[in-house]
Amino acid sequence: MIRLDDKALRETAYESKVHMIGRCTLIIGLLLTFLPPFILWLAYGIIPPLNNLISGIISISAVMIPVSVVEILTFSPMLGSSAMYMSYLTGNISNMKIPSAAISMEAVDVKPSTEEGDIISTIAIAGSVIASEIIIILGIILIAPITAKLNNPIIQPAFEQVLPALFGSIGAYYILKEWKLAVAPLVAAVSLSLVPGLPTAITIPVCVLASVLGAKFLYKRDLIKADE
Amino acid sequence: MITFIVLQSLLFFRLAYNEGLKLGLTKAKMLRAFRTGAISTIVPTIAVIVALITMVPVLGVPIPWIRLSVIGSAPYELMAAGIGAKAMGVDSLGGAGYNSQVFSASVWIMCIGSVWSVSLVAFLLKRIKKRYTKNIGADPKWRAVLMNAAFLGVFCIFIADPITKGGLPLVTLLCGASIMTVLALIIVKLKQNWLKEFALALSMIGAMACTALFSYLF
């Protein structure tokens, strides 16, 4: 009993530390992102008229508020808390952070949404963040020569296909693991993509929901072997 | 700014690392996760740089760089910049009428648009997490299935696109999938566990090489 209490106590200590650091860094980070427009304003005196700015703010908020709410509810069970704080400071969540966390948990054999999973996804995303910042800096330094090379007509089409390349690969891995699970989301996703112009803010949650419901159906009927 | 981001991830890394040691995860395992995360990011990051290059003629180097290093992703930034310009009565990025004032409107909107998601996470994540841990229940087997299903849900959205579009995206998708299948067979059958870290990066590069070759030939 005493050991159990110890464990519970330690976890909450860790969790509250994570939330503390996460909140502080996110808020500071958010304030820092406003440096460029403030520099434009204070140093160069360039600022849009207030009316236009407000109308712009209304349009972007109308899009972003529902998107953010749904996204956060979708992503937060997949990544641990600290992984969430990092992902939201650096962006590119569905195309970079989620796949790299998923593949890392596979590589070291831990389950998502467990304590170990949270820690591994945190470490994986830390690796991912650091690597991508370094590569972007290198990219900026080399931007002139790279632009010339990447505009090469042979390589250009390949870079336009980076998303299919990523998701073909990681999708295949997951489908090999448990193909039955893939049926429901794939059907949902294909039918959703036949409707033109739906933003991923709608399609991702709908598809995740379809996938989860499908999984529940299969699990209840013992049609999938959970690896544990 | 970027120093700050790296600082945050180092902080979390240390915290998670120490906690991991207490939970009995080995050092090797955790370093491996770090490496895998880093390696798997390389190719998508190059794609981000390509997106950056497409934004540079319109928005210059500094703004897209800062914006793509934090919070945003290329489609979001372009959309936000577009909304900013529209609010000023200008319909296109760059081009006639896109003066410095319109540009500053784009920048403001890019920043303000991302306030929502970031502050929601900053203020509400703790509560959301608590709710989830209560609801998810005690069945670890179901939880594993549930998480796999959730991941698959995200992946399928991006898989469906090339399937319905066909053409070059479909070729790339299939190449990536088949290379990954081969790699997975090698990992399982020949017990080449080290390959796991590189599998994603390798199959992406392979798939993109096939695409380049394919579009060159046809």
**A181 to A163, A174, A190, A225, B199: CA distances (angstroms):** 22, 9, 15, 11, 22
State residue B177's pLDDT score.
Answer: 92
Render pLDDT for A94-121 as a digit per residue (tens, 0 to 9).
Answer: 777 888 888 888 888 888 777 788 888 8
Render pLDDT for B22-38 as a digit per residue (tens, 0 to 9).
Answer: 776 777 778 888 888 88
Choose from A167, A186, A202 for mutation: most chain B CBs within 10 A.
Answer: A167
Interface of B with A in 52-81 (CB under 8 A): 52-53, 56, 61-63, 65-73, 76, 79-80
Q: Which residues contact B55 (CB under 8 A, 6 or more apart)?
A: B64, B74, B77, B78
pTM of the model: 0.74
Would the CB atoms of B43 and A104 count as touching at under 8 Å? no
Would the CB atoms of A150 and B50 count as touching at under 8 Å? yes
Q: Which residues contact B94 (CB under 8 A, 6 or more apart)?
A: B57, B58
| Among B7-16, B81-90, B92-101, the least confident range | B92-101
Q: Is the pLDDT of residue B69 over 90?
A: no
Please name the amino acid found at residue B85. Answer: A
Q: pLDDT-derived band of residue A2, with 50, 70 and 90 as boundaries? A: very low
Chain B residue numbers with beta carbons less than 8 Å from the beta carbon of A185 are 149, 152-153, 155-156
Mapping DSSP to helix (H, G, I), strand (E, B) and coil, where does residue A49 land?
A: coil
List the one residue out of A56, A16, A18 whose CA is nearest residue B103.
A56
Measure A88 CA to nearest chain B CA, in Å: 6
Q: pLDDT-derived band of residue A29, with 50, 70 and 90 as boundaries? A: confident
Distance CA A30, CA A130 (A): 19
Q: Which residues contact A66 (CB under 8 A, 6 or more apart)?
A: A201
Q: Is the pLDDT of residue B120 over 70?
A: yes
Choose from B2, B108, B128, B156 for mutation: most chain A CBs within 10 A.
Answer: B156
Q: Which of B129, B149, B161 sits opposite A81 (nearest CB)?
A: B129
Residue B128, chain A, CB below 8 Å: the answer is yes
State residue B57's pLDDT score.
Answer: 65
Question: What DSSP character marks residue A148?
Answer: H
Q: pLDDT-derived band of residue B181, with 50, 70 and 90 as boundaries? A: very high
Question: Nearest 5°: CA angle at B73, between A100 and A205?
Answer: 70
Q: Is the pLDDT of residue B178 over 90?
A: yes
Residue A172 corresponds to which tokens in the numbers above? 């295949």
Question: What DSSP character marks residue A80?
Answer: -
Q: Is the pLDDT of residue B62 over 70?
A: yes
Radius of gyration of chain B (CA): 22
Measure B95 CA to nearest chain A CA, in Å: 18
Residue A36 and residue B71 in contact, taking contact as beta carbons nearer than 8 Å: no
Measure B19 CA to nearest chain A CA, in Å: 7
Chain B residue numbers with beta carbons less than 8 Å from the beta carbon of A34 are 111
Render pLDDT for A78-90 as a digit per residue (tens, 0 to 9).
Answer: 787 888 888 888 8
Chain A residue numbers with beta carbons less than 8 Å from the beta carbon of B43 are 162, 165-166
Q: Is the pLDDT of residue B137 over 70?
A: no
Distance CA B33, CA A119 (A): 10
- 3-state helix/strand/coil string of B22-84: HHCCCHHHHHHHHHHHHHHHHHHHHHHHHHHHHHHHHHCCHHHHHHHHCCCCHHHHHHHHHHH
ipTM of the complex: 0.73
**B179 to A39, A101, A137, B186, B215: CA distances (angstroms):** 48, 20, 30, 11, 18
